[in-house]
Amino acid sequence: MFENMFKSGCLVRTAHVILTWLTTLVLFLHNTDLRKCQERGDLVQPVVFSSVVLLSVLLYFTVSLMDPGFVLSDSDTRVVMKATNEELEKMIPQDHSSLKQRRCGYCFKLQPMRARHCQTCKRCVRRFDHHCPWIDNCVGERNHKWFLLYLCVQFVDHHIWGLWSGVVFAPTWQLWFTQNGFLLGAFAVTAVFSVVVLLLLCIHLYLASVNSTTWEFMSRQRIVYLKHCDSEENPFDRGVFCNLWHFCCICGTVAWERIYVRHTNGAK
């Protein structure tokens, strides 16, 4: 974990922390609603707000530094499967000859269904969604739900109206910009991030509800197990409630080959 922290993503993570706490500091130093509550001795809102900011930072590092679901080597995979009383060859039902695990052309590992090689991480990721440069990590089977939770907390944490409440009036435009310069800068940064986070939040909520990924949604015509399906057909879709339940509550890896075979056999 600590080795990853000091690689290329160190600057990105440092910038994220600085922007987050700098905006928070601006809120408490200027005459905003948070500052007024603090001066009145009403600490509920400042404490809750600071806790949300801290949770946002912790979730950021969790998503950024955790294993997104890297595909194990062939020998490690057999050890894991043996430990869980499952054999590797049973991941794919033998009565479905069209399903074959392919070997990655970059790292030469056996790729489970829905896995993809990330050129940035240089490893294959299970249920690959995308590589996010802001967290300098892939979003995959293990950290996708934490990424979605991070987006939710980040959106709640974005305090546009809290910043605007600290803007003061002045007799001239020059004096107004001088007095509100830091607030306006923080407001602009927060507004941009709020729009981006809201769009990402809506997109990933939709993808989770239909059991799809960004990669599958954008490149379905190039994916072997999807290109024969209709444009609106998803062989992994088990209904909104079931999709969200498994997305949020099921931990560990999933043999997507079994779900795929069950769906395609049922459709015949």
The pLDDT assigned to 165 comes to: 56
Cα separation, 117 vs 109, in Å, equals: 10
264-to-78, 111, 188, 233, 237 alpha-carbon distances in Å: 27, 20, 49, 11, 11
The pLDDT assigned to 160 comes to: 53
Phi, psi for 170 (deg, rounded to 5)? -145, 155
The pLDDT assigned to 88 comes to: 40
The pLDDT assigned to 135 comes to: 92
Rounded to two decimals, the pTM is 0.80
The token pair at 38 is: 């603090």
- Contact between 74 and 89 (Cβ < 8 Å): no
Cα separation, 105 vs 31, in Å, equals: 58
The pLDDT assigned to 128 comes to: 96
59-to-26, 48, 147 alpha-carbon distances in Å: 22, 16, 8
Cα separation, 117 vs 111, in Å, equals: 9
Cα separation, 31 vs 9, in Å, equals: 35
3-state secondary structure of 97: coil
Cα separation, 88 vs 27, in Å, equals: 54
The pLDDT assigned to 255 comes to: 83
The pLDDT assigned to 97 comes to: 46
Where are the strands (E) in the chain, listed by range?
102-103, 110-111, 116-118, 123-125, 130-132, 137-139
The pLDDT assigned to 150 comes to: 95
The pLDDT assigned to 148 comes to: 96
The pLDDT assigned to 1 comes to: 43
- Contact between 212 and 234 (Cβ < 8 Å): yes
In order, the DSSP letters of 134-191 are TTTEEE-TTTHHHHHHHHHHHHHH--HHHHHTT----SSHHHHHHHHHHHHHHHHHHH
The token pair at 263 is: 């769906």
pLDDT tens string, the chain, 268 residues long: the values are 444 444 567 888 888 888 888 877 777 777 766 677 777 777 787 788 888 889 999 999 999 999 999 998 755 444 444 444 443 444 444 444 455 677 888 888 888 999 999 999 999 999 999 999 999 999 999 999 999 999 999 888 766 555 555 555 666 666 656 666 667 777 777 788 888 999 999 999 999 999 999 999 999 888 888 888 887 788 999 899 999 999 998 877 788 888 887 666 655 5
Residues with active-site annotation: 132
CB burial class (10 A; 0-12, 13-18, 19+) of residue 138?
buried
